[in-house]
Chains A and B, each alone.
Chain A
Amino acid sequence: MTNKLNTYTVSVYTENNIGLLNRISAIFLKRHVNIESLTTSQSEIDNIYRFVIVVKVVESKIKNIVKQIEKQIEVIAAFYHTDKETIFLETALYKVKSKSLFDEKHIQKIIKNSQANIVTVSPDYFIIEKTGWREETEKLYDSLEPYGLLQFVRSGRISVSKEAMNISDILELNTDK
């Protein structure tokens, strides 16, 4: 096993339970592992939730962490994947002074070239949305920054794996017992 730090996306399927977020994040805390991003949402199955957690660690560590997560009572299954094994995206929002949009013609070109969308325009500001990889949202950030960004925010990663994660099967198997 190598000692190289890799980016891993951990996907955790859970029952909805107060305190589970705390329980899962405590597993990273105990091992002094920084969470790069964390997103939770409803999954493809009713009442089953999905955590997407991004961390940079060595593979031996992520294997152990995933097993510790999976061991928690309300966790149905946990997986880890490398970037190559997933399709993943982040969304960024950029709030820019409206004046720039009209004064600086170049800005419209930037928006068009980066395949970003204008979400809303008001007399004072307008908001651009860009969904994509980290490099793309960062590139747009760099391009817009000279015009004065009023606000910038980027979501955690959302990701789906290329391989199947058969949660329904696991649930059925456990209920059969």
Chain B
Amino acid sequence: MKKTNKISGSEAVIKCLLEEGVDIIYGYPGGAIMPIYDELFKYEDKLNHILTRHEQGATHAAQGYARVSGKVGVVTATSGPGATNLVTGIADAQIDSTPMVCITGQVASHLLGSDAFQECDIIGISTPVTKWNCQITKASDIPEVIAKAFYIAKSGRPGPVLVDITKDAQFELMEFKYKKCNSIRSYIPIPKFSINEINKAAELINNSKKPFIVFGQGVILGNAESEFKQFIEKTGIPAAWTILGLSALSSDHPLNVGMVGMHGNYGPNVLTNECDVLIAIGMRFDDRVTGNLETYAKQAKIIHFEIDPAEVNKNVNVDIAVLGNVKDTLPELIELVKEKSHTNWINKFHSFYKKEFDKVIKNDLYPSKEGLTMGEVIREINEISKGNAIIVSDVGQHQMVTCRYASFNHSKSNVTSGGLGTMGFALPAAIGAKMGAPDREVIAIIGDGGYQMTIQELGTIFQTGCAVKIVVLNNEYLGMVRQWQQMFFDKRYASTEMVNPDFVKIAKGYFIDGKKIKKRENLKSSIKEMINSKKPYFLEVCVEKEANVFPMIPSGASVSDVRLE
């Protein structure tokens, strides 16, 4: 605890951020948050403010930063439209469990409820999409509320928090004292695990013939990658990932059998309905993972390792639930499970992979047709990055292809909008990712549709010199919607065709080097040139216009009905 003379609420905000170890914030100034920006000006040597070109960009950048660094992403915005522009990013962070603290300015407290200029009930609006939110009308409340905000955002199952501060509270003088928050009596971030349930889980696992693991982001958020690896290696159980679990286990690990879900791998989906024990680790049985719940893993006993009690039995009823952080529960489990191998069972995954390779993967990665495929672009990136890059993807076909084929050696390297499916996520998220991991290569893979939703963030890249590499896979369509129109709406391509601008010129307008390629022979050299560049770089690849992503579980179908064509 420190004591100083009286300072303004605004300065207190900055001091709180510094106490929490924040060194970078993303935001956009405006009337109701000007006192805080004025203080930021004084502290700019300690606190780097990144001016994005839209408040939504600030939220996604903060998400990208949080996802690769494991730290809390911080966003500042003004009242009214500044605050409402945060909502998409907040909702995205909520559904993908990303720790984020958003600080918004609000009109002076005597004006609350008067429909003042740029007044907006952001507390009301953000309530359903925040882990917690709070409005401050007195400067003296600032330290306690911000301490609480950081604690809530990062503890337990992380999530976004919004703190709304009226302008008068920013001006008001107060005595600054800061005490970090480490408990709230009505909040249990990590439920106590039951050794009894772990015993039961171990017994089930030890007696199983065809066990199967599906793991999610819980492994990454719990920093439990090594415990997880130890567990699968001891038990020899094949493990598949959800889209947000990607990169928790290195891509070339022999027990990594691929992705589950709508565009996941063939084997993991089909064999979900053949395993005898399904071990779900830090995942939440999203509908894109399970397909039709009536036919999901009905033959299997299900064990769920989960930090959030509200996720247990939400979508899938489980036989054993082990609450707690997998970082704590997996070591207990490892003690109790027997060393085993499941060669025949794993061979089944391999034979399904072979089928998938012949029907889908071969044509994606090594196409014989003239048109460039999204898959071969990812393969070429893999060959140069060697799986060491952070890959940020947007939403749609290119996202599925990227997550299916990108290889990863390090955790926290896959940044994508999973739960909310926010188009426009990738470009700003890549900025945050690069700032959260400045020594690593950050490659954003984006479709031509999503790119244009937040394209103005090229301005942020130019202004900051943030050396992200941007790959736009251009098929001149909103590809995923077009695929659905082709498959389920008799090819009625309602508003999915895009007439696009000259993307390279736009990049060059922001003084970002760029290139557009249409031919295979230029692909490898262009990707090399891009990755070798020390500066931001833009690469547009014109890919086949009407290619589809397979395998696919049609909406409402069973995981075992996954289609290869």
The residue on A at minimum CB distance from B148 is A73
B127 touches A26 (CB 8 A): yes
**Once the chains are docked, how many angstroms separate the CA of A74 from the CA of B161?**
13
Q: A22-B127, A26-B127, A73-B132 known; A174 and B186 CB under 8 Å?
A: yes
Give the segment of A13-21, A81-89, A117-125, A143-151 that binds chain B: A13-21
Give the segment of B206-214, B305-313, B481-489, B557-565 that binds chain A: B305-313
User: Hey, which chain A residues are within 8 Å of B110, CB to CB?
Assistant: none
**Interface flag for A139 (CB, 8 Å):** no
B135 touches A74 (CB 8 A): no
User: Hey, which chain B residues are within 8 Å of A30, CB to CB?
Assistant: 128
**Once the chains are docked, how many angstroms separate the CA of A74 from the CA of B134?**
11
Q: A23-B127, A26-B127, A26-B128 known; A67 and B310 CB under 8 Å?
A: yes
Min CB gap B126→A, angstroms: 10
**Once the chains are docked, how many angstroms separate the CA of A22 from the CA of B125?**
10
User: Hey, which chain A residues are within 8 Å of B3, CB to CB?
Assistant: none
Chain B 295-314 residues near chain A, CB threshold 8 A: 308-310, 312-314
**Once the chains are docked, how many angstroms separate the CA of A174 from the CA of B189?**
10
**Interface flag for B184 (CB, 8 Å):** yes
User: Hey, which chain B residues are within 8 Å of A71, CB to CB?
Assistant: 308-310
Closest 10 CB pairs of A and B: A67-B310, A26-B128, A76-B186, A73-B132, A174-B185, A71-B310, A73-B187, A175-B185, A23-B127, A68-B310
Q: A70-B310, A73-B132, A73-B152 known; A171 and B185 CB under 8 Å?
A: yes
Chain A 42-68 residues near chain B, CB threshold 8 A: 63-64, 67-68
A73 touches B310 (CB 8 A): no
Min CB gap A164→B, angstroms: 19
Interchain residue pairs with CB less than 8 A apart (27): A14-B186, A18-B135, A19-B123, A19-B127, A19-B135, A22-B123, A22-B124, A22-B127, A23-B127, A26-B127, A29-B128, A63-B313, A64-B310, A67-B309, A68-B310, A71-B309, A73-B152, A73-B187, A74-B186, A76-B185, A171-B185, A174-B183, A174-B184, A174-B186, A174-B187, A175-B185, A177-B183
**Once the chains are docked, how many angstroms separate the CA of A67 from the CA of B157?**
14
User: Hey, which chain B residues are within 8 Å of A70, CB to CB?
Assistant: 309-310
**Once the chains are docked, how many angstroms separate the CA of A107 from the CA of B298?**
63
The residue on B at minimum CB distance from A66 is B310
Min CB gap B462→A, angstroms: 40
A: contact size bracket: 20 to 34
**Interface flag for B133 (CB, 8 Å):** yes
User: Hey, which chain A residues are within 8 Å of B308, CB to CB?
Assistant: 71
B131 touches A73 (CB 8 A): yes
Min CB gap A65→B, angstroms: 10
**Interface flag for B18 (CB, 8 Å):** no
User: Hey, which chain A residues are within 8 Å of B310, CB to CB?
Assistant: 64, 67-68, 70-71
A26-B128, A68-B310, A73-B152 are known; give 17 further A-B pairs, CB within 8 A.
A15-B186, A19-B127, A64-B310, A64-B314, A67-B310, A67-B312, A71-B308, A71-B309, A73-B186, A75-B186, A76-B186, A171-B185, A174-B183, A174-B184, A174-B185, A174-B186, A175-B183
**Once the chains are docked, how many angstroms separate the CA of A106 from the CA of B93?**
65
Min CB gap B101→A, angstroms: 14
**Once the chains are docked, how many angstroms separate the CA of A76 from the CA of B188?**
9
User: Hey, which chain A residues are within 8 Å of B312, CB to CB?
Assistant: 67
**Once the chains are docked, how many angstroms separate the CA of A177 from the CA of B423?**
42
User: Hey, which chain A residues are within 8 Å of B133, CB to CB?
Assistant: 19
Chain B 95-150 residues near chain A, CB threshold 8 A: 123-124, 127-128, 131-135
User: Hey, which chain A residues are within 8 Å of B128, CB to CB?
Assistant: 23, 26, 29-30
**Once the chains are docked, how many angstroms separate the CA of A38 from the CA of B156?**
30
User: Hey, which chain B residues are within 8 Å of A68, CB to CB?
Assistant: 310
**Once the chains are docked, how many angstroms separate the CA of A175 from the CA of B184?**
8
**Once the chains are docked, how many angstroms separate the CA of A89 from the CA of B509?**
70
User: Hey, which chain B residues are within 8 Å of A177, CB to CB?
Assistant: 183
Most chain A CB atoms below 10 A, which of B186, B309, B314: B186
The residue on B at minimum CB distance from A65 is B310
User: Hey, which chain B residues are within 8 Å of A63, CB to CB?
Assistant: 313
Chain B 277-310 residues near chain A, CB threshold 8 A: 308-310
Chain B 161-202 residues near chain A, CB threshold 8 A: 183-188
The residue on B at minimum CB distance from A71 is B310
**Once the chains are docked, how many angstroms separate the CA of A177 from the CA of B135?**
28
User: Hey, which chain B residues are within 8 Å of A171, CB to CB?
Assistant: 185-186
**Once the chains are docked, how many angstroms separate the CA of A73 from the CA of B149?**
11
The residue on B at minimum CB distance from A30 is B128
Min CB gap B183→A, angstroms: 6
Chain B 395-414 residues near chain A, CB threshold 8 A: none
Min CB gap B276→A, angstroms: 24
User: Hey, which chain A residues are within 8 Å of B313, CB to CB?
Assistant: 63-64
The residue on A at minimum CB distance from B182 is A177
User: Hey, which chain A residues are within 8 Å of B127, CB to CB?
Assistant: 19, 22-23, 26
User: Hey, which chain A residues are within 8 Å of B135, CB to CB?
Assistant: 18-19
The residue on B at minimum CB distance from A60 is B313
The residue on A at minimum CB distance from B310 is A67
**Once the chains are docked, how many angstroms separate the CA of A18 from the CA of B186?**
15
User: Hey, which chain B residues are within 8 Å of A175, CB to CB?
Assistant: 183, 185
User: Hey, which chain B residues are within 8 Å of A76, CB to CB?
Assistant: 185-186
The residue on A at minimum CB distance from B314 is A64
Q: Mark A20-43, 1 if CB is under 8 A from B, else 0.
A: 001100100110000000000000
Min CB gap B269→A, angstroms: 26
**Once the chains are docked, how many angstroms separate the CA of A30 from the CA of B184?**
26
User: Hey, which chain B residues are within 8 Å of A29, CB to CB?
Assistant: 128
Most chain A CB atoms below 10 A, which of B134, B184, B185, B313: B185
Q: Mark B371-407, 1 if CB is under 8 A from A, else 0.
A: 0000000000000000000000000000000000000
**Once the chains are docked, how many angstroms separate the CA of A29 from the CA of B124?**
13
The residue on B at minimum CB distance from A27 is B128
Chain A 67-109 residues near chain B, CB threshold 8 A: 67-68, 70-71, 73-76
**Once the chains are docked, how many angstroms separate the CA of A63 from the CA of B127?**
21
**Once the chains are docked, how many angstroms separate the CA of A142 from the CA of B313?**
44
Min CB gap B100→A, angstroms: 15
User: Hey, which chain B residues are within 8 Å of A67, CB to CB?
Assistant: 309-310, 312, 314
User: Hey, which chain A residues are within 8 Å of B132, CB to CB?
Assistant: 73
Most chain B CB atoms below 10 A, which of A14, A67, A70, A76: A67
**Once the chains are docked, how many angstroms separate the CA of A134 from the CA of B128?**
33
**Once the chains are docked, how many angstroms separate the CA of A14 from the CA of B184?**
12
Min CB gap B65→A, angstroms: 24
**Once the chains are docked, how many angstroms separate the CA of A64 from the CA of B317?**
12
**Once the chains are docked, how many angstroms separate the CA of A177 from the CA of B156?**
14
